[in-house]
Structure 1
Amino acid sequence: MVPEKAQERCSKQVQDFSRCCKESGILMVVTCQKENSALKECLMPYYKDPAFHAAGKMEHLRKREELRKTGIPIKKRLWKLPTWKYSNDAQ
């Protein structure tokens, strides 16, 4: 939970690093050092922040409690069924 939230907050650095890795292929270890450093610099404060971890833990516990109550994971509960629009024009 914490890594996903931190990556959301550092989305620009994640995108830059991902793009560099895709473009560089096997040479990414050498060519993407700048992007990797920028990503680490952005993520580390979140990984070291106890309040950030506590918030992630509370969210995880809330989701687990909901799962135990309903038996349905939150992701599946949030799925929406497609809505179909019917036209009276077709005759």
Structure 2
Amino acid sequence: MVDHAGMTLYTFDKDSGGKSMCNDECAKNWPPLMVKAGDMAEEGWTQIKRDDGSMQWAYKGKPVYTFIKDKKAGDMTGDGMKDVWHVIK
């Protein structure tokens, strides 16, 4: 799965209960896929509230992110990172 720009989307194993555990420095390296005003959820997608009050997309209950080291559409350099980051399948 990819975002609107074609960038690969990832999940983080430490997230649970529809809550993101990736904040501060983590979120700089793994930018959350943020909800824009007026965005509507489609099948499988939900919106979750982050610790800072902003809204992030989740797929099947798992918050989703991009990876700062992915430079172009189709890059998947974060897959398997530290055994806790995975491309959404």
Q: Which structure has the greater CA radius of gyration?
A: 1
Q: Point out which structure has higher relative CO (alpha carbons under 8 A, 6+ apart).
A: 2
Higher strand fraction (1 or 2):
2
TM-score normalised to structure 1 length: 0.23
- The two structures have a TM-score, normalised by structure 2, of 0.23
